[in-house]
Amino acid sequence: MRRIAHAGARSALIATLAFGWIAMFAGGASAHALLVPQKAVPPAGSTLQKAPSEIVATFTEPPDPGLSHLHVLNSSGQQVDKAPTEAVSGKPLELKLPLPSLPNGTYTVTWQTVSKVDGHVAADSYAFGVGVAPPATPSGGAPVVKTPSPSVLSVVGKWGLYAGVSVLFAAGAVSLLVFGGAVPGGRRTVIIAWVVLLVGYVLMVVAERSTLGISLGTLLGSEAGRPLVDLGVAILVAGAAVIAYIVRPSRAVLGVLAALAAIVMLERVLGGHAAATQTFRWFNVGDQWIHILAVGTWIGGLVLLLIHVLRGGGGSQVRRFSTLAGFALAVVAVSGVFRAVDELGGWTEWGRLIHTSFGITLSLKIALFIVLVALGAWNRYVNVPRVAPEEALVPPEPSRVGAHSAPIAGGSGDGEPRTSLGARMRPLRAVVTAELVIAAGIFGLTGVLTGLPPAASAANPTTAPPAHIAVTGHDFATTVRVQLTATPGLVGQNAFRASVMDYDTGNPVPATDVSLQFSLPSQPEASSTLELKKTAPGIWSATGTNLSIEGAWNVSVLVQEATTSATVPLRVQTRTIPPKVTSIPGSNGTPTIFTNTFANGDQIQTYLDPGSVGVNQLHITAFDPQGNELGLKSCSAKATGPGGTKDLRTKRFDEPNVPKDKRGHFVANTQLTGGTWSLTVTASALDGTLLVAKFTQTIG
């Protein structure tokens, strides 16, 4: 028994380490309630001649209107929508957002959804333009949507949920079919299984509330929280059957317990991926339910079998369970294939097993399943015949329902000497223990899988790599070097990637935490912090809208190690979309007028008067998208041509009818020689927006 205890402890340690590895290294994936860019109104990446009156977004799963929202930001990062996000009547996949009148410019639609089906959160953004072309999205038109990686708490909770309900179901069904109505381990087995189930459920709910960042009451009162409430009710009802079994064990109570455990499994399926499918929904739900029932019979039954053999049970029950497990295994395999095809996106999409986080996790689960099949086959054809070479399949009549079979004094309970049967049982116990260790890993992987979206929704095609900005720096003590990239580097949503390396060796720094602190000198209120997540050794990443205003940002990279920390200061200048330049040729003595139209709809009009060799006056006027004069805080200009570059001295144009601080008209005098001149104007609007206009003109 001491060897068995030591082996069990080692197995538990291995299972814990494997489970922890699974929980820590499961990566994020694309969203569950995923935006369908082609069905968005206006479409992602579109250019409109007239501003829309509302945003209509269509998702791959029904979003919870109470927990999901849409917002629209202008190019300065300011929210322009005023009304709340609404559900679209009769269209559960759609949300809409009423909009006020929008001027010409580029706009970013940010969205966050909580799936009504499985409660998972997703967030991303896309751009459209009114009167001007929007910037390219980070994936060239198909936004790469990110969701939080499954948390350790969530995976642990789901592990407990699946393990507990499997043993609880087996305590009812397998005990009736294999052990003659006697639950190996008796009441203790049933109680422990239900407690593990309940604790797993509580941890899962707490993890969901933490991920969404809302109160428990808000979560459970929402449509997305309804599957959790239904699941909790089913668990409590199953608890009543557990109490009934404790008070009066009987075959009838075991049948009820198995049925209620099966209902718990069904409620879990109705809150998972299978119920989120829009086609063949009930087939997928039924297939998933049958799959979980077969897993409960097989894995939960293994737990009962191990208890049975550890307590000196006979070989007839072992043979009966081996036969039952064979049928359950076949059902698991067939139903699992159908679920895999649905979640991968079709019979031809097996390549997604290695190209998506969901697929890789599923591949690991399949690999462990194959190992389990091999171990089960070894038991079935090698160990079971040794234990019960010619056992009858008639179940024994237990002396008392609810207790394990009482062995005959000095024997095994099957008429054989205990020492002989015990020796033959030893290999069986070892293999069953190994099976349970691997099954624990499978339950852990299942917990990760249910926190990831199916590969079918995660497989968004991408095009050419997006443009980005990259800056490099080091801390004051020259111990840490950081390269930070922001993609696409425009105002709004960006994907940040920090490479954190040792300054001298170039090796990854073993950091425990990396965060970015953003500040804009011209607007201190725009300061923010973004926590990064480790995605590879020395690589930390996250997505955020922290670069919300155009300008030069101070970014401090805080690198926290086990005992020390370092701060790396960086300066990030957001990229700008080149303005559209148009010109109106002069005639009859009037100058040629150049207009630079920016992504937000602002304009700068410039002209040289008279536009000939000699003294010229440069006129600079800023306009907002409505055509009104746009107030400027400052304006500078320079001219590059024959002989080099020279700065031009600008001053405000005298406009008596316009307050001085709101004037957007500047002038500058300059002497120009014959040749081609390039002029650059840099203006700062009252709201801090930086406008850089350029035009080229041939003089003489």
Q: What is the pLDDT of residue 669?
A: 93
Least confident segment among 340-344, 495-499, 582-586, 665-669: 340-344
pLDDT tens for each residue of 546-598: 887 777 899 999 999 988 899 999 999 887 677 888 888 877 778 889 999 88
Q: Which contacts of 271-275 are long-range, i.e. CB under 8 A and separated by 24 or more positions?
A: 271/117, 271/118, 271/119, 271/227, 271/228, 271/230, 271/231, 272/117, 272/118, 272/450, 273/118, 273/343, 273/450, 273/453, 273/454, 274/339, 274/342, 275/117, 275/118
Least confident segment among 106-115, 409-418, 421-430: 409-418
Q: What is the mean pLDDT of the chain?
A: 77
Q: What is the pLDDT of residue 691?
A: 84
Q: What is the pLDDT of residue 308?
A: 82
CB atoms within 10 A of CB 460: 15
Average pLDDT score over residue span 295-321: 81
SS3 for 152?
helix
Q: Which of 132, 136, 152 is nearest to 144 (CA)?
A: 136
pLDDT tens for each residue of 329-382: 788 778 777 666 665 555 555 555 565 666 676 677 777 778 877 877 776 777
Q: CA of 129: how far to CAs of 126, 244, 520, in Å?
A: 11, 65, 26
As beta bridge partners, residue 554 has 519, 571
CA pair distance 265, 302, nearest whole angstrom? 18
SS3 for 473?
strand
Least confident segment among 45-59, 101-115, 207-221, 508-522: 207-221
Find where tokens 């290695």 sit: 354
Domains of the chain, earliest start first: 2-29+149-458 (no CATH), 37-130 (2.60.40.1220), 469-573 (2.60.40.10), 580-699 (2.60.40.1930)
Q: What is the pLDDT of residue 143?
A: 39
Query: How long is the chain?
Result: 700
pLDDT tens for each residue of 105-135: 778 888 888 877 666 777 777 778 787 666 5
CB–CB of 401/309 below 8 Å? no
**Would you say residue 162 has pLDDT above 80?**
yes
Q: What is the pLDDT of residue 456?
A: 43
Q: What is the pLDDT of residue 317?
A: 82
**Would you say residue 164 has pLDDT above 60?**
yes
SS (H, E, C) 214-279: CCHHHHHHCCCCHHHHHHHHHHHHHHHHHHHHHHCCCHHHHHHHHHHHHHHHHHHHHCCHHHHCCC
On the question of a cis peptide bond just before residue 42, with omega within 30 degrees of 0, the verdict is: yes
Average pLDDT score over residue span 302-309: 83
**Would you say residue 142 has pLDDT above 50?**
no
